[in-house]
């Protein structure tokens, strides 16, 4: 019986390991899709039921190693997504069971041997009329989509180098830790002279800065050579904290010289150490891919902020499930997840889920999309005025208009206003605002009344959704940005000087509103201090050019 024969009007999807780090996020991405009937499957019934109640999906409690054949024999599912790793050393029992019961199979594996060997099931999968696809994750689905886009754009790619660098706050499930440690120090097949977690390199990701990465046994070197003729591929990953990164490098050395067989038994103590150091890192991670050929070079990067990085590996699988639900996948057989998804289809997943993830081509992140405010506001972005959306989309980098300025009300206020280069009082003056975007951050340069005010806006570390940070020199302000009736407000929520939090009585009094009037973007901003009063108020309009 094929998957199509048992299909109802909605695609019935079972996520195996659906309460784990990546499985849970995949369920969150797919929940609510009208074309998908979603079930999370796990051994922990309490966690599964809790997730099901929260997302409005079904839950199924069972041990997949023992009961999967029985579960699929009930003909309840059209697609199974296997997220219950680790895949290192795992056999192909799950996809074989899926083939036997006519169920499409996808997984989030990134192990070279597992992903590259999946085609051994090709004949059986074609006979059953199902798709068996391994690696519907960052590696190799997303990385290969970037390569295919570069090839489509005319770059004759000869070399590829990429690194995946998650934030230190990223959750570390046992399966993920086992996957990392089980191969550390071992030679990488088809990569002469390279060992897992060896060959360290520095990687500069726009918006993240420079981080270390090390070679990993990922599928890309083999797949890129076989599918695209790319002879040289460096596939790496890194830990944000240098002490953890090089600590693992040192621990892998005895494996490399044969003194220790594997670091897998060290998972519990190393997980304990990593958890103790969690607060010393950030919730910001990313990915950079460099492609070279015929004297040309292109780079594509991604940054994930606000703790949204663990969603990235789940987005290709979500995109592929949706394509199956729409009937847009005609391929049948067993294959790695290469050529099944475009870069745009994968990126659409984090955009429609309103995740704080941005990506783009270039060395400095100037082309990153979605824009900063789209990521900060999420679904509320569409509630802003059209003029506000045009300004915050960052398509037009320079806006001009007119404004009036009310100055400080006393001598102390005027002195402080001059210190911070706030504009002087004027009834009607030209104003120019220039936006410079780099690495997911925006620099605002405001010129009015002969004064220039410069600030940076960005997503702060460990900040809730709907918050933004605006920084003037050493002063940084946490701002909530609620939207109501088309108006965006900036509301004080915190303040720091040189990174040190300041008590509430030090906070300035800020009233800031953005709105639309007669088709133009209008602003009204007033800044004051307790016991001193107003420092400046400026209001007017801007038009893009």
Mean of the per-residue pLDDT values for the chain? 93
Nearest Cα to 253, choosing from 179, 184, 181?
A: 184
What token pair was written down for 350? 């984090």
Instruction: Name the one residue in this structure whose structure tokens are 């002469």.
Output: 192
122-128 contacts at long range (C-beta below 8 A, 24 or more positions apart) = 122/333, 122/334, 122/335, 123/333, 124/96, 124/99, 124/334, 125/95, 125/99, 125/332, 125/333, 125/334, 126/332, 126/333, 128/2, 128/99, 128/100, 128/102
Nearest Cα residue to 480 out of 489, 461, 527: 489
- φ, ψ of residue 166 in degrees (nearest 5): -70, 160
Copy the structure tokens of residue 142: 């997303």
Percent of the chain exceeding pLDDT 90 equals 82
Confidence label for 7 from pLDDT (cuts 50, 70 and 90): very low
Q: 5 pLDDT exceeds 60? A: no
Separation of alpha carbons 481 and 148, rounded Å: 38
Matching residue, tokens 């006979």:
127
Q: Does 2 have pLDDT greater than 50?
A: no
Strand-pairing partners, residue 300, are: 289, 361
Preceding amide of 370 cis, omega within 30: yes
Q: What is the DSSP string of 100-151?
A: HTT-EEEE----HHHHHTGGGGHHHHHHHT-EEEE--SIIIIIHHHHHHHHH
Q: Name the pLDDT band for 173 (thresholds 50, 70, 90).
A: confident
Residue recorded with tokens 């040192």:
250
Domains of the chain: 140-307+357-370 (3.30.360.10), 377-544 (2.40.128.20)
- d(C-alpha 21, C-alpha 24), whole Å: 6
CA–CA dist 93, 252 (Å, integer): 30
Does the pLDDT value for residue 199 go beyond 60?
yes
pTM reported for the whole predicted model: 0.93
| Spatial contact of 233 and 161, defined as CB atoms under 8 Å apart | yes
Residues 6+ apart with CB under 8 A from 497: 474, 475, 476
The three-state secondary structure class of 339 is coil
Residue 260 CB contacts under 8 Å (≥ 6 apart), including other chains:
185, 254
Q: Which two tokens stand for residue 59?
A: 């839950």
Mapped to the 3 state alphabet, what secondary structure does 246-281 carry? HHHHHHHHHHHCCCCCCCHHHHHHHHHHHHHCHHHC
Grouping H, G, I as helix, E, B as strand and the rest as coil, residue 233 is: strand
Task: Work out the end-to-end distance of the chain between its first and last CA atoms, rounded to an integer number of angstroms.
Answer: 60
Q: Which residue has the higher pLDDT, 190 or 297?
A: 297
Give the model's pLDDT for residue 531. Answer: 86
Q: Which residues contact 180 (CB under 8 A, 6 or more apart)?
A: 197, 248
H-type alpha helices, 153-285: 174-183, 220-228, 242-256, 267-276
Q: Angle at which helices 315-326 and 343-352 pack, to 10 degrees?
A: 100
Model confidence band, residue 179 (pLDDT cutoffs 50, 70, 90): confident
Residue identified by tokens 């933004």 is 468
Average pLDDT over every residue of 243-253? 93
- Give the mean model confidence (pLDDT) for residues 190-218: 92
Please say if the pLDDT value at position 241 is more than 90: yes
Question: What angle, rounded to 10 degrees, do the helices at 242-256 and 267-276 form?
Answer: 160
Helix, strand, coil share (%) of the chain residues, nearest 5: 35, 35, 35
pLDDT for res 8: 59
What are the φ/ψ torsions at residue 506 (nearest 5 degrees)? Answer: -90, -10
- Among candidate residues 55, 57, 54, 107, the one with its CA nearest the CA of residue 80: 107
Q: How many angstroms from the chain centroid is the CA of residue 123?
A: 36
Sign of CA dihedral 531, 536, 540, 542: negative
pLDDT in tens, 302-340: 999 999 999 999 999 999 999 999 999 999 999 999 999
Q: Write the pLDDT tens digit of every residue in 460-479.
A: 999 999 999 999 999 999 99
| 371 phi-psi bin (left φ>0, alpha ψ -120 to 50, beta other) | beta
């Amino acid at each position: 019986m094929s998957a199509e024969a048992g299909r109802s009007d909605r695609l019935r999807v079972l996520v195996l390991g659906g309460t784990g780090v990546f499985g849970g996020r995949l369920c969150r991405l797919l929940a609510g899709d009208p074309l998908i009937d979603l079930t999370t499957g796990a051994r922990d019934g309490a966690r599964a039921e809790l997730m099901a109640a929260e997302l409005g999906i079904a839950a199924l409690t069972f041990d997949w190693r023992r009961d999967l054949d029985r579960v699929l024999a009930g003909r309840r599912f059209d697609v199974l997504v296997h997220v219950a790793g680790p895949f290192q050393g795992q056999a192909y029992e799950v996809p074989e069971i899926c083939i036997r019961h006519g169920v499409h199979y996808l997984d989030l594996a990134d192990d070279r041997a597992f992903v590259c060997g999946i085609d051994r099931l090709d004949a059986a999968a074609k006979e059953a009329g199902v798709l068996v696809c391994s690696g519907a994750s960052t590696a190799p689905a997303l990385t290969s989509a970037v390569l295919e886009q570069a090839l489509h754009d005319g770059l004759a790619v000869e070399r590829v180098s990429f690194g995946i660098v998650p934030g230190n706050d990223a959750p570390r499930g046992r399966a993920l830790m086992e996957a990392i440690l089980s191969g550390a120090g071992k030679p990488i097949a088809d990569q002469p002279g390279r060992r897992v977690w060896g060959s360290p390199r520095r990687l500069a990701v726009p918006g993240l800065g420079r981080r270390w990465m090390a070679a990993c046994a990922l599928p890309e070197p083999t797949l890129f050579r076989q599918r695209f003729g790319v002879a040289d591929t460096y596939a790496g990953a890194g830990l944000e904290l240098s002490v953890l990164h090089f600590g693992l490098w040192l621990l892998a050395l005895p494996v490399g010289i044969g003194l220790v067989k594997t670091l897998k038994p060290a998972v519990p103590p190393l997980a304990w150490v990593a958890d103790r150091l969690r607060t010393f890192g950030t919730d910001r991670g990313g990915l950079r891919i460099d492609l070279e050929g015929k004297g040309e070079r292109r780079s594509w990067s991604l940054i994930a902020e606000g703790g949204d990085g663990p969603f990235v590996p789940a987005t290709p699988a979500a995109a592929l499930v949706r394509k199956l639900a729409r009937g847009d996948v005609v391929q049948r057989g067993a294959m790695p997840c290469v050529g099944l998804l475009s870069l745009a289809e994968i990126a659409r997943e984090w955009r429609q889920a309103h995740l704080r993830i941005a990506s783009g081509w270039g060395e400095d992140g100037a082309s990153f999309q979605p824009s900063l405010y789209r990521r900060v506001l999420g679904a509320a972005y569409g509630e802003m005025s059209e003029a506000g959306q045009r300004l915050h989309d960052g398509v037009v980098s320079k806006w001009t208009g007119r404004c009036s300025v009310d100055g400080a009300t006393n001598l102390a206020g005027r002195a402080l206003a001059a210190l911070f280069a706030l504009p002087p009082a004027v009834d009607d003056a030209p104003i120019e605002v220039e936006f410079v975007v780099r690495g997911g951050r925006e620099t605002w340069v405001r010129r009015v009344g002969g004064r220039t005010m410069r600030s940076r806006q960005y997503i702060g570390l460990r900040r809730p959704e709907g918050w933004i940070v605006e920084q003037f020199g050493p002063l940084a302000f946490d701002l909530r940005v609620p939207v109501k009736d088309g108006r965006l407000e900036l509301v004080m929520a915190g303040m720091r000087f040189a990174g040190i939090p300041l008590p509430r009585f030090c906070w300035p009094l800020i009233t800031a509103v953005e709105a639309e009037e007669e088709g133009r973007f209008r602003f009204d901003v007033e800044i004051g201090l307790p016991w001193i009063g107003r420092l400046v108020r400026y209001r007017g309009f801007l038009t893009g050019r």
